[in-house]
């Protein structure tokens, strides 16, 4: 049964609020792929995909591109030019990295009574599944270089990935128990401890826990941003599998039933929007990959949606267009990303307005 937490915990001296993704942004971060990583064999294709993402963002706001080494800039500049990026809105920084999934190793920015603050949570490679030390240090490295201007950084001794939480901007977080309670993240903490930490650090007043939901090939133990997302304070878009013979059917049907029990802060049922179910995408070894349309990115005036060269792509774009009236809907081909078990939202991290000027 899904539990809603409505309890207050001891908090820092200032009130805190984690904004919703649809609120004004100053930039989106990208950690660019490089040859000293799992992207070595597909680097040219990865460059094209990342350049397409960066170009789309650059026509709406700033892109902060982190390169593993300055020598890569010429190659990346060429890819950006080919993709039609607005170079006036692209900034570069240098920091060593293990992988590209900045959603999980980038900062979470909170508004406080003393101004904005960058929270630098610990990152441990999704439960020590992969190398992570360079990624864990990336936010600190960029901060020390002045990449975030004068916004203060606070290190938080707690493992938390940005893809594991979704905020409505008004004190409600949507999370999965499979990820936040995984013993490989914070084994010393109970569920009550975790709730108190999220309340203290992010200003969470309610936590909506999902106990069902599953994507084959997912390395994150069930990140919420692959399964269900707030589109506004009263709307949740979610993965829906209508095929009884698909291995995902039982878990996603159970998740749908859980979502129907959730209520907004004023006690109303959420407007639930099922997303299309793409055909199976397979790795070279035949294993299934976690393709999901829930992994979209909201920008100032636009929404980037992952596409998979699938017959359901057009339907997904249309459904999300209805969820975000007034925003341009832009499809981004993401087969190269999904081959590394991530997608569009996973490789981006928005920075709220007021951080980069």
* Average pLDDT value for residue range 80-99: 98
pLDDT for residue 5 is more than 80: no
Q: Mean pLDDT of all residues in the chain?
A: 95
pLDDT for residue 223 is more than 50: yes
Tokens encoding 310:
């699938």
Number of helices (H), then strands (E), in the chain: 10, 18
pLDDT for residue 298 is more than 70: yes
**pLDDT for 7:** 44
Q: Is the dihedral of CA 320, 57, 278, 318 positive or negative?
A: positive
Residues assigned a catalytic role: 346
* Average pLDDT value for residue range 238-261: 98
Burial (Cβ within 10 Å: 0-12, 13-18, ≥19) of residue 115? exposed
Confidence of residue 128 (pLDDT cuts 50, 70, 90): very high
Residue 327 Cα to chain centre, angstroms: 19
Contact 306, 332 (CB under 8 A): yes
Q: 0.85 exceeded by the pTM?
A: yes
Of the ranges 10-14, 101-105, 174-178, which one carries the lowest mean pLDDT score? 10-14
**Hey, which CATH number is domain 4-352, 3.90.1150.10, 3.90.420.10, 2.40.40.20, 3.75.10.10?**
3.75.10.10
- With a CB cutoff of 8 Å and minimum separation 6, the contacts of 59 are 86, 89
Contact 281, 216 (CB under 8 A): no
* Average pLDDT value for residue range 337-356: 96
H-assigned helices in the chain: 43-58, 73-83, 102-105, 125-128, 133-144, 177-180, 191-202, 249-261, 313-323, 335-338
Q: At 198, give phi and psi (nearest 5°).
A: -65, -35
**pLDDT for 14:** 72
Confidence of residue 275 (pLDDT cuts 50, 70, 90): very high
* Average pLDDT value for residue range 150-154: 96
Treating both helix axes as pointing N-terminal to C-terminal, what angle do 43-58 and 73-83 enclose, rounded to 10 degrees? 60
pLDDT for residue 285 is more than 80: yes
H-assigned helices in 223-326: 249-261, 313-323
**pLDDT for 12:** 54
**pLDDT for 335:** 98
Q: Radius of gyration over alpha carbons of the chain, in Å?
A: 19
**pLDDT for 13:** 56
Distance CA 184, CA 78 (A): 40
Report pLDDT digits (tens) over 175-192: 999 999 999 999 999 999
Top pLDDT among 64 and 12 is at: 64
């Amino acid at each position: 049964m899904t539990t809603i937490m409505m309890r207050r915990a001891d908090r820092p001296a200032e009130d805190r609020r984690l904004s919703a993704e649809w609120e004004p942004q100053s930039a989106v971060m990208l950690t660019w792929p490089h040859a000293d990583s799992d992207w070595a064999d597909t680097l040219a294709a990865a460059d094209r995909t990342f350049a397409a993402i960066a170009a789309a963002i650059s026509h709406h706001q700033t892109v902060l591109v982190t390169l593993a080494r300055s020598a890569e800039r010429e190659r990346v500049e060429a890819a950006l030019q080919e993709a039609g990026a607005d170079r006036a809105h692209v900034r570069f920084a240098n920091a060593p990295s293990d992988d590209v999934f900045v959603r999980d190793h980038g900062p979470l920015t909170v508004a406080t009574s003393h101004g904005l603050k960058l929270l630098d949570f610990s990152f441990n490679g999704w439960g020590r599944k992969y190398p992570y030390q360079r990624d864990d240090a990336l936010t600190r490295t960029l901060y020390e270089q002045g990449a975030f201007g004068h916004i203060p950084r606070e290190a938080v001794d707690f493992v938390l990935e940005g893809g594991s939480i979704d905020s409505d901007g008004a004190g409600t977080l949507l999370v999965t128990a499979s990820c936040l309670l995984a013993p490989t993240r914070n084994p010393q903490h109970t569920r009550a401890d975790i709730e108190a930490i999220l309340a203290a650090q992010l200003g969470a007043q309610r936590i909506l826990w999902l106990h069902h939901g599953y994507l084959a090939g997912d390395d994150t133990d069930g990140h919420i941003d692959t399964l269900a997302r707030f589109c506004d304070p009263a709307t949740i878009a979610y993965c829906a599998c209508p095929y009884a013979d698909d291995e995902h059917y039982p878990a996603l049907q159970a998740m749908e039933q859980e979502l129907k029990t959730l209520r907004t802060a004023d006690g109303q049922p959420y407007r639930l929007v099922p997303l299309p179910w793409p055909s199976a995408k397979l790795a070279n070894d035949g294993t299934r990959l976690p393709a999901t349309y829930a992994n979209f990115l909201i920008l100032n005036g636009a929404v980037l949606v992952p596409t998979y060269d699938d017959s359901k792509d057009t339907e997904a774009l249309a459904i999300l267009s209805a969820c975000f009236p007034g925003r341009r809907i832009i499809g981004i081909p993401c087969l190269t990303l999904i081959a590394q078990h991530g997608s569009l939202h996973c490789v981006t991290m928005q920075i709220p307005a007021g951080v980069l000027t």
